[in-house]
Amino acid sequence: MTSCFLSYSESYRPLMETLRRLLEILEFKIDVFDGPDLDRPPLAEFQHRVLAADCVVLLLGPREPRPGQQDIEPAPWPAEEGIYAVAKEKPVALFVHPGTRIPETLRTLQTPARFDFWSADDFVKNVHNIMKHLLDLKRRIDLPAGNQPFVFTKLIARNRIQRDGTLKIDIYHEVVARQQCARFHHHLDTGMDTRADARIRLTTPDAYDIEATLQSGLHHVTLAFEGVTERVIPYFVNVDPPLAPGERLGYRREFTLNNFFPLSLSELAKLAGEEGFPEAYKVDGKAYYGRVWDVLYEMESIQVAIHFPRKVTIRSKRAAAFALPSRTLNALETERCSSNDCLSLDEAADSGERILCLKVRRPLMNHQYVLLYEPND
C-alpha cells in the first residue's frame, strides 16, 4: 500500500481529518502527527518520516483565518516539511488556503488546489479539484518502474482482409504517461518485404479514422501524417490536452489500404521468387508471408492478428522474434512465441473468418515480432 505523509497545522485540524478519510478511501497508508503543534517531536524525526513515505500531501495555510488578506505567513510546520519533501524529490500534492504566501521552493511545484481551509462550503465547491490532485498523486506513485517517458500497456493490431480486395488495419494502444506527453509516433509499413512491388497505401486520402477510448471525455486525439512514401506511412497521434504523469489513455485507429497479403500458395510462390522477398519468411525450405511488429518501448502485451476471408485456408503457421537493429533471431523468444499460449489459428463461428493470432505478454524491447502463414491453393 502506498504510504503518504500528511502535513498540516492544528489550526485547520478538521480539514486534515477530511483529507485523511479521502486518502484512506484511495488506499493510501497515512502517517500524520495527531496532536497539538506544541507537542510535535523534533524536526529530525519528521524528516525521517517524510523520507520513509512514498509521497506527501501538504496543507499549506496560516495559523489562523484572515479573510481578505494577502501574503499571509504560512504555519511553520507544513511549510518546513513541504520544503524538505521537495528537496528530497518526494511527489507532493499541494493544497493552499487563499492569501497564504507560498515559499519560493514550492511555487514552481504545481498549480495548487486553492480553497478556504475553514469553510466546508468552499471545500465542497472545490472537491473536484481536490480529488484530481489526490488522484494525480496516486497515479504518479503507481507508475511502473522504468525511465521511458511513457509505457504502452497494450497493443492490439488486427489486419482484416476484405472480399473487395482491400485491407482494414485496426490498431489499438493503451498508454500510461510517466511525464507530460502530447504526441505519439507510429507508422504502417511493408515490414521486411523490400521487393520492388511491395507497396502500402491508403485507398483514398481520407481512408482512416481515430478515436479515444479510455479517458475519451478528457482528451481529444487527432492524427497527422508526415513523410509518407510507397513503403512507409508515418503518422503522429496528437493528444489535447497533453497527458499528465500517471494518466492512462486508449486510442484506436482504422486504416483502409491496398491488400498486400497473398491468399494462395501459387501467389506466395511468385512473390518468394522476387528479389527483396524477406529471407526471414523462408523457413525449412518453405516460403511464408505475414506481419511484423517492432517493439521499441516497454510494453505489457502485444496482440497481432490476420483475419482471412472464409474461403482462404491456411496450411501452416509460424512465429519468430528478431533482435534489433541486427535482426538476428532470438531463439528463446521465438520458442516462446511459437507455443500454443502465444500462437493460434481459429475460425470465427459467426463469419467463418480464419484468424491467425500472436499474443505475447511482456515482449522484449528492441525486438521485431513476426507472424507468418502458408496458405493453401
169-190, pLDDT tens digit by residue?
999 999 988 888 999 999 999 9
- Does 2-142 match 150-375 in CATH topology? no
Average pLDDT over residues 87-102: 91
Q: Tell me the pTM.
A: 0.66
Average pLDDT over residues 99-114: 83
pLDDT for residue 254 is more than 80: yes
> Do residues 265 and 376 touch, judged by C-beta distance below 8 A?
yes
pLDDT in tens, 142-168: 765 566 788 888 999 999 999 899 999
* 35 or 217: which leads in pLDDT: 217
CATH, range 2-142: 3.40.50.10140
Q: Phi and psi for 305 in degrees, rounded to 5?
A: -135, 150
Average pLDDT over residues 84-97: 90
The position carrying cell 470465427 is: 348
Compute the residue count for the chain: 377
Residue 248: its pLDDT value, please? Answer: 86
* 62 or 38: which leads in pLDDT: 62
Q: How far is CA 183 from the centre of its chain?
A: 12
Average pLDDT over residues 29-36: 83
User: Of 1.10.287, 2.60.40, 1.20.1260, 2.70.70, which CATH number belongs to 150-375?
Assistant: 2.60.40
d(CA 185, CA 81): 41
d(CA 66, CA 8): 17
Residue 30: its pLDDT value, please? Answer: 93
d(CA 245, CA 181): 8
Task: Locate the domains of the chain by residue range.
Answer: 2-142, 150-375
